[in-house]
Amino acid sequence: MNRERGIAVVSVLWGVAILSLIAVALLSLSLTSAGLDRNAWNRARASSAADGGVNQAILALLDPRSAHQPRIDGTASTASFDHIPIRIAIQDESGRINVNFAPKDIIAAALAASGTAKDTASEIAGRVVARRGTTNPATPKFAYRALEDLLAVEGMTRAILDRAQPLLTVFGRNETVNQQLAPRAVLAVLPGLDAEAIDRIAKERDRRAQLLAGDDVAGAPLGTPNTVFCITVEATSGNAHVFRIAEVQFTGDVTRPYMILDWR
């Protein structure tokens, strides 16, 4: 009888242990599922906020009031969408080096400034220009419709392109770089601009932006016909970070005021 009681106790203990393990497994599965659901929810909210940030930027570019207009030289600003913090940067593409029109020396300087050996940069730039042929800005036939098209150029690698990408563009019809809108990294490769000149340009931009911020008067929107802007938005919700990049061209047509050229 004692032996039977001992076996019964051991059986009960084993049963309790097994049930405990099942309970722990179910709890762990429940917590994991809850964590995945929370991550998915945060990512969905961040993605929605990033999309909303792009729309906010487009509306600001269409706003004729000077105090409501954003900076378009790539300077980032912070905002919120549905209580989610977002970071918005708008770059007028006329402030970048357009590989469809820029001369060989400027493209080579951009590649070299991004870490490519000068001789290699010059060779690649020469092939970039040769491949596009003769281009008329008035009626262009773009050789490069996306920066990834440059990978078809002999010598161009993904690493070289990734390093130089912030300086380059394929959007717009600008043969020259607009120095008033160019990022510092672009200004640094333009001929005739030293560090002192770049600092003067940057300070003048800041001064002009401060004046416009306090001058809420009617004017012209920044999104004028044929202008192209790169809008970059970063949204954060919990541990989810979402980046949205949109290339937007304004048309001047009230029925279709802008077009999305690229979205990623």
Q: Give tens-digit pLDDT for 36-62.
A: 568 889 999 999 999 999 999 999 999
pLDDT at residue number 38: 82
pLDDT of residue 127: 96
Q: Are residues 100 and 87 in the same domain?
A: no
**Helices (H), ranges, 63-75:** none
Residue 219: alpha-carbon gap to chain centroid: 28
Examine the domain organization and report whether 151 and 188 are in the same domain.
yes
CA dihedral sign, ordered 178, 184, 190, 194: positive
> Are residues 100 and 123 both part of a single domain?
yes
pLDDT for 137:
56
Q: What pLDDT, on the 0 to 100 scale, is given for residue 15?
A: 62
Q: Specify the number of domains making up the chain.
A: 2
pLDDT of residue 25: 57
Structural domain span for residue 250: 46-94+218-263
Contacts of 240 (CB under 8 A, 6+ apart): 39, 42, 43, 45, 46
Of the three residues 171, 192, 211, the one that is the final residue of a domain is 211
Q: Which of 213, 174, 177 lies closest to 198 in space, CA to CA?
A: 177
Judgement on whether residues 100 and 178 belong to the same structural domain of the protein: yes
Spell out, as residue ranges, where the chain has pLDDT lower than 70: 1-37, 134-140, 214-217
pTM of the model: 0.81
Q: How many Å apart are CA 197 and CA 118, to the nearest integer?
A: 24
Three-class DSSP category at 42? helix
Q: What single DSSP character describes residue 264?
A: -
Give 225-255 pLDDT, tens digit per residue. 999 999 999 999 988 999 999 999 999 998 9
pLDDT of residue 173: 86
User: What pLDDT was estimated at residue 67?
Assistant: 80
Residue length, the chain? 264
Q: Specify if 72 maps to a domain.
A: yes
**One domain, residues 130 and 233:** no
